[in-house]
Amino acid sequence: QVQLVESGGGLVQAGVSLRLSCIASARTFSAMGWFRQAPGKEREFVASMYWTDGSTSYADSVKGRFTISRNGAKNTLYLQMMNLKPEDTAVYYCAAGARTTTSDMTAYLYWGQGTQVTVSS
């Protein structure tokens, strides 16, 4: 079984950067991704990466501002968030185990506990 632990969230001012990390306990997955959920909203796709070839996918709302990356040796996934906006405020969840870099949350088998990102204007 895979355990995922996110870190790096916090309270920041709009326009600044933040990097989230997700450490996986095992490598039984093909793709990993980031999802987020704002209060009163549905969980939504942010970005994903196929572990072996590094292919990526991004939600339109974050494309050009966020970058997903990985450190294979450390079983760690990152989300570098640039030019943060108040609408980026949400709990960010790390996910793993999808066969492809799909935006469908039901395709991911493993989930972290989430890390809060709050962006003030």
Handedness of CA 98, 6, 58, 86 (dihedral sign): positive
Distance between CA atoms of 27 and 13, rounded to whole angstroms?
35
Residue-wise pLDDT tens digits, 34-64:
999 999 999 999 999 999 999 999 999 999 9
Residue-wise pLDDT tens digits, 85-119:
999 999 999 999 999 999 999 999 999 999 999 99
> Strand, helix or coil at 29?
coil
